[in-house]
Each structure stands twice: as structure tokens, then as C-alpha cells.
Amino acid sequence: MEARRMRLEVILMAIVIAFGFVGWPIVGSYSRAHGSWIGMLAISSTALAFAGLSFRQLISVTPPNTKAIIMLLVAGVINGGAVYLYTDKIADTTVPTAAFVATVYILVSIVAPLLNWLFKGAVPNFQQGIGFLFAVAAIYFLKQGG
């Protein structure tokens, strides 16, 4: 059971990460490029940045086992499909970009504890249940404002 609390520096890092995660789709929409170009350029530059930042760790640690590699490759393929759909909507001028991006990330806050439960057996607690209800309400209000 995962009952740890996040320290302030972890929350501050999450804010920095959120700007990175949310920044590229907003910039992508602003660029008016086709969704496929937005996705390919964002993912390619993400891979390059990640490789550069993690190079020392990648060469100094033991590679994952075959099962882990297969699981991660499958997850990556699923993520690639999700990024394709995501960038298609980001490039769609009929979709309100900020509301769409917010909706996706609110849904992430619902899906993450469910997948954590499925894969790690960490049953969502009461506070997470309340958060789920707030997330559903937030999506409702975002839809109304769009």
C-alpha cells in the first residue's frame, strides 16, 4: 500500500515538469503545424533531450531484463498511439486547446491510481476517491466552458 506523502521539493519539481508537459502541446497548437508534425518533432526532441540528460546513467546501470524491456516497449507503442491522437486534437482548430490539454491531464489523475492499483496492488484510498470526484467535476466544468 502506497501511503507516502510528497515533500515540498517533489511538488515543486512536479510544477516544473507540468510546464514541460503542458508547454509543448500549447506551443504546438500555436504553431499551426499539422498534428503529425507536432507529435514527431516533440517526441524526437524529447528523446534527444532525454538521451543527453540520462546518458551517464544509461551506461552505468544494468540494463533491464527481457520481460521489463518488452513491457516498456509495449507501453511505448501505446504511448505513441496516444501521442498521435493527442497531437491530432491539439492541431484541430475547432478544439479548445487549453481545455483539451487540461481534460487529458485531469483524466491522467484518474487513470494513474487505477493503473497503480492494477499493476502494483495499491488500492486507492478515501482521499484519492474524493480527488476522483473533483476530477470528474472539473471535466464537467471544462466541457461547459468550451
23-57 per-position pLDDT tens digit: 999 999 999 999 999 999 999 999 999 999 999 99
State the pLDDT confidence band at 3, using cuts at 50, 70 and 90. low
Q: Mean pLDDT over residues 67-91, rounded?
A: 96
Stretch 77-96: mean pLDDT:
95
- Over residues 90-128, the pLDDT tens digits come to 999 999 999 999 999 999 988 998 999 999 999 988 988
pLDDT at 146: 52
Model pLDDT, residue 19: 92
Nearest to 25 by CA among 82, 71, 107, 76: 82
What confidence score (pLDDT) does residue 143 get? Answer: 85
Q: What is the pLDDT of residue 135?
A: 93
Name the more confident of 143 and 52. Answer: 52
* Phi, psi at 5, each rounded to 5°: -100, 150
pLDDT beyond 90 at 5: no
Determine how many CB atoms are found less than 10 A away from the CB of residue 133: 9
pLDDT value of position 145: 72
Q: Give mean pLDDT, residues 67-89.
A: 96
Q: What pLDDT sits at residue 2? A: 53
Across 37-63, b (16+ Cβ under 10 Å) vs e yields ebbeebbeeeeeeeeeeeeeeeeeeee
Residues 6+ apart with CB under 8 A from 114: 124
